[in-house]
Structure 1
Amino acid sequence: MLVLLVGVAAGLGAPVWLDARAAAQHPVTAADLAAGRAALDTLEVKGRAPRTGYEREEFGQRWADVDRNGCDTRNDVLRRDLDDVTLDPATRGCVVLTGTLTDPYTDTVIAFERGERSSEVQIDHVIALADAWQKGAQGWSDERRTAFANDPANLLAVDGSANQSKGAGDAATWLPPNRGYRCAYALRQTTVKAAYGLWVTQAEHDALTREIGRCVVAD
């Protein structure tokens, strides 16, 4: 069964799938699927707005400590998504030094080590910031964009090369190479967009509908 948590940084009540390992390894339940389909039905379908004015800085400081736990968002996500984590004691257990990622996008295991190899594991915005900008976020307040950029509901530790390949793509232009994760990925894209009131293009809606339709429901 997928682990359901709330996008705490945004203070939203819509459920989202946060545990990437559980989602990649287990089929969704009937309740999970029903929630995803209900979210899909709420998404407005219209064209992509111009990218004019988009800069990463429009979404606030990179990896801000929005939950005020003393750690930046990147390290929060690394601690959540990696196994066998070791922490830097000089940072009060905040900075992740090493760990093991079971990557949901490629279904490979990656040994993370802080330093020269840090980029082998990257934190992906499941809904890319540039994509969000073109589908409603440019009309948000600065505070809401910062919350979105740091919301754990929209963040995953993933293989760096897969993240670079995805870029700012939506579900119509990029899906995880690991087909076993595509159902959970589509559900996550759908529920996050619905929670934030972002719209989708027709091609994107078609892709999400197709992948959710392929979900395998647990007995």
Structure 2
Amino acid sequence: MRRPVLATAAAVAAAVLAAGCTYPAAGARPGATASPSVRPTVATTSTMPSGASDTARAIRAELARAKVVAERPHVPGYARDRFGKRWTDQHNGLGGHNGCGTRDDILARQLTDVRLRSGSRCVVESGTLNDPYTGRRIAFTKQQASKVQIDHIYPLARAWDLGAAKWTAQRRTDFANDQAANLLAVDGATNASKGDKGPGEWMPIAAGYRCTYVLRYLEVANTYQLAITRNDRDAAQTITRTCARKENGR
């Protein structure tokens, strides 16, 4: 999905405040209503503050560092393979060169009750996902693999337009397989609706994950020196007012 028509940042803020600090459902535009063998888990290096107020402060700190552009430009030439072979192990980040593909690494880390393929130390055959974007529990099986997809929190097509087109091929491959910061196993349909949108156009259905999603998006943007749009910035500023309420389930 590429370059949807953007609502104004003012519309985002107005919709949030008018609806009692709610955000659009996944995929909606701003303003819309809305025992088996298991591989060891690995902690991510992404900043995960201990309290809701810490999350809001962390978002504001990332915003202070962010490069903001008025809108997302169109940079010709994007294709998925410009970011390397899909889920390759040939990257330099967490899980790289471990003999397992990136997708299986993420599934093994996030799913519970993981079962591996017989004779394999890598291939995840089944498990259960506690989906951060919807709050639902999703049964994953290899036979219905599309029910759980791996999301790039800062999407590849968006990254291409906002700076990655100038990177080396290896840096793009590392970005596409950054297990520590930019990858998340999520509900497949929700991931499809998110497409290549940012926080200015899309928020998770699960209210309790919205502040974490925004923070992780900004952390990735700043780590890789990718720009964010003005709509992204405004949505992030607005969500900080609601972090304590949403992350405490109120």
Q: Is the 8 A contact 1:51 1:130 kept in 2?
A: no
Structure 1 residue aligned with 2:147: 120
2:61 to 35, 38, 41: 38
User: Counterpart of 2:200 in structure 1: which amino acid?
Assistant: A
1:146 to 173, 179, 184: 173
Structure 1 residue aligned with 2:80: 56
TM-score for both structures, normalised by structure 2: 0.74
User: Counterpart of 2:182 in structure 1: which amino acid?
Assistant: N
CA distance in 1, matches of 2:216, 2:43: 11
Q: Is the 8 A contact 1:87 1:96 kept in 2?
A: yes
User: Counterpart of 1:42 in structure 2: which amino acid?
Assistant: R
Indicate whether 1:211 and 2:239 are aligned.
yes
TM-aligned CA deviation for residue 178 of structure 1: 1.0
CA distance in 2, matches of 1:131, 1:213: 26
CA distance in 2, matches of 1:4, 1:68: 18
Question: Which structure has the bigger radius of gyration?
Answer: 2
| % identity of equivalent residues | 44
Q: Is the 8 A contact 1:48 1:134 kept in 2?
A: yes
Indicate whether 1:82 and 2:111 are aligned.
yes
What's the CA shift string for 1:170-216, capped at 9, x where partnerless?
11111111111101111111111111111111111101111233211
CA distance in 2, matches of 1:29, 1:130: 31
What's the CA shift string for 1:36-68, capped at 9, x where partnerless?
321111111113221411010110110011211
Secondary structure of 1:157's match? strand
TM-aligned CA deviation for residue 35 of structure 1: 3.2
Measured on the aligned residues, the alpha-carbon RMSD in Å equals 2.1
TM-score for both structures, normalised by structure 1: 0.84
Q: Is the 8 A contact 1:187 1:212 kept in 2?
A: no
Q: Is the 8 A contact 1:4 1:16 kept in 2?
A: no
User: Counterpart of 1:191 in structure 2: which amino acid?
Assistant: E
Distance 1:4 1:118, change over 3 A: closer
Q: Is the 8 A contact 2:55 2:211 kept in 1?
A: no
CA distance in 2, matches of 1:216, 1:110: 27
Structure 2 residue aligned with 1:196: 224
Structure 2 residue aligned with 1:5: 44
Indicate whether 1:179 and 2:207 are aligned.
yes
Specify every segment of 5 or more residues in structure 1 that has no aligned partner in the other structure, as ranges. Answer: 7-14, 18-22
What's the CA shift string for 1:80-127, capped at 9, x where partnerless?
110010111322x10001100010111110000012x11000001111
1:68 to 97, 101, 109: 97
1:111 to 139, 142, 146: 139
Q: Is the 8 A contact 2:52 2:243 kept in 1?
A: no
CA distance in 2, matches of 1:36, 1:98: 35
CA distance in 2, matches of 1:205, 1:175: 13
2:164 to 137, 140, 147: 137
